[in-house]
């Protein structure tokens, strides 16, 4: 196939020779130590992948560092996981321990494999997103500073735990299906600058951008009107119309959701459900949010059975007991009465004849 400048390159051109030679022929894998996977193929070939935490928003110097390490021990091969971990792919087993030693010496965090807390997947936040409620990267940094020992395996947990951070309810992260999710929420209706809207906004596109039909035209001033009863404060309209502003330093904050998972093992995939309706933004360290997440992790770690994900544990003991153990007050905000809420989405590949 001819090469073009459109889209990503064919992944077959980028994978290590050992993976290409044993493609679809892997027999099993083990976890010899936290952060290391040992893959064995039917041919007898062995590949070690060493997982290291990444802050996702990284400097060019940091990228050069990991590339130099990969050149030294992995013939230049590494990859990023969906949760922003870096995996060094070691085909020569004699280079595994020297790699681990250098990573430790350079203070890279090795872990996040198997029964542990993986790296936090997060969205763009204040650094890029127009509708961001909170600084996703700063929040993630603050939480992972508290979760370091859970990532490296020094503190044992009953099962895998996945944490996600989304800077607004549009959730371009995996917040709808993570064990613990931190979601930024706006609490005030967007404000429309009518004079500006008539000059810079395409009214039909602005109306079409609203997923709940809360925006209608205002012909008198060549602008739009937002219906507060239908608006869910997602901020979509602000992305297409600069005259609409939704940022509110006083009322913006985050909510915390629990119990989601993508895995189809044992039980069906689950959507996250609301645990803590609102915590105000507290940059730069988000102390209240960090403490709340740490509390949820410790309560789950103390009470869950071996192999039991957060949502599976909550379903076993019941939501009433979960709120009591986690010391979370139950409020009217926990009642899902949104007009367009769906409770019957099929999210599993499990079925019965």
Domain ranges for the chain:
14-106, 136-186+249-344, 191-243
Q: How far apart are CA 270 and CA 274, in angstroms?
A: 13
CATH tag, 136-186+249-344 = 3.30.413.10
Separation of alpha carbons 12 and 64, rounded Å: 23
Q: What is the dihedral of CA 240, 245, 250, 256, to 10 degrees?
A: -20
- Answering whether pTM is above 0.85, one says yes
Whether the domain at 14-106 and the domain at 191-243 fall into the same CATH topology: yes
pLDDT score for 129: 82
d(CA 165, CA 293): 11
Give the whole-angstrom CA distance, residue 155 versus residue 69.
28
Residue-wise pLDDT tens for the chain (353 aa)?
A: 556 667 778 888 889 999 999 999 999 999 999 999 999 999 999 999 999 999 888 899 999 999 999 999 999 999 999 888 999 999 999 999 999 999 999 999 999 998 999 999 898 888 888 788 999 999 999 999 999 999 999 999 999 999 999 988 887 777 788 999 999 999 999 999 999 999 999 999 999 999 999 999 999 999 999 999 999 898 899 989 999 999 998 999 999 999 999 888 888 888 889 999 999 999 999 999 999 999 999 999 999 999 999 999 999 999 999 999 999 999 888 877 655 555 555 556 665 54
Q: Which two tokens stand for residue 186?
A: 């706006």
Q: Which residues of 314-332 are buried (b: 16+ CB within 10 A; e: fewer)?
A: beeeeeeebeebbebeeee
User: Which stretches does DSSP call E strand in 53-155?
Assistant: 78-80, 86-90, 121-122
CATH number of 191-243: 3.30.70.20
Q: For 53, phi and psi rounded to 5 degrees?
A: -70, 145
Contact 299/325 with Cβ under 8 angstroms?
yes
118 touches 162 (CB < 8 A): yes
**What does the pLDDT read at residue 304?**
97
Nearest alpha carbon to residue 159 among 311, 300, 307: 307
Residues near 30 by beta carbon (within 8 Å), at least 6 away in sequence: 37, 38, 40
- Cα–Cα distance list, 34 to 48, 71, 104, 341 (Å): 12, 23, 13, 40
| Residues 83 and 177 sit within 8 Å (Cβ to Cβ) | no
Q: Fold for 14-106, please state it.
A: Alpha-Beta Plaits (3.30.70)
């Amino acid at each position: 196939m001819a090469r073009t400048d459109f889209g990503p390159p064919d992944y077959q051109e980028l994978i290590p020779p050992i993976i290409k030679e044993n493609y679809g022929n892997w027999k099993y894998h083990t976890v010899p130590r936290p952060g290391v996977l040992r893959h064995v193929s039917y041919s007898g070939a062995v590949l070690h992948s060493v997982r290291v935490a990444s802050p996702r928003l990284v400097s060019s110097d940091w990228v050069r560092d990991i590339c130099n390490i990969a050149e030294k021990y992995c013939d230049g091969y590494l990859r990023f996981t969906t949760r922003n971990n870096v995996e060094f792919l070691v085909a020569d087993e004699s280079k595994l321990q020297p790699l681990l030693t250098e990573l430790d010496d350079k203070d890279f965090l090795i872990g996040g494999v198997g029964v542990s807390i993986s790296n936090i997947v997060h969205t763009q936040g204040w650094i890029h997103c127009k509708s961001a409620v909170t600084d996703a990267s700063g929040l993630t940094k603050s939480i992972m500073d508290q979760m370091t020992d859970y990532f490296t395996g020094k503190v044992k947990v009953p099962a895998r735990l996945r944490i996600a951070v989304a800077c607004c309810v549009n959730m371009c992260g995996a917040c709808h299906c993570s064990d613990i999710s931190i979601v930024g929420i706006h609490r005030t209706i967007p404000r429309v600058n009518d004079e500006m809207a008539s000059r810079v906004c395409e009214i039909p596109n602005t109306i079409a951008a609203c997923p709940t039909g809360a925006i209608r035209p205002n012909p008198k001033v060549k602008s739009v009107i937002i219906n507060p009863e239908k608006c869910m404060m997602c901020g979509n309209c602000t992305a297409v119309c600069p005259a609409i502003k939704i940022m509110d330093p006083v009322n913006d904050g985050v909510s915390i959701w629990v119990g989601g998972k993508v895995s189809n093992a044992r039980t069906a995939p689950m959507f996250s459900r609301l645990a803590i309706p609102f915590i105000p933004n507290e940059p730069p360290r988000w102390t209240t949010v960090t403490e709340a997440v740490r509390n949820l992790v410790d309560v789950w770690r103390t009470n869950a059975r071996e192999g039991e994900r957060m949502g599976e544990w909550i379903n076993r003991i019941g939501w009433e007991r979960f709120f009591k153990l986690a010391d979370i007050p139950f409020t009217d905000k926990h009642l899902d009465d949104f007009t367009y809420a769906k409770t019957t989405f099929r999210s599993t590949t499990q079925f019965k004849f």
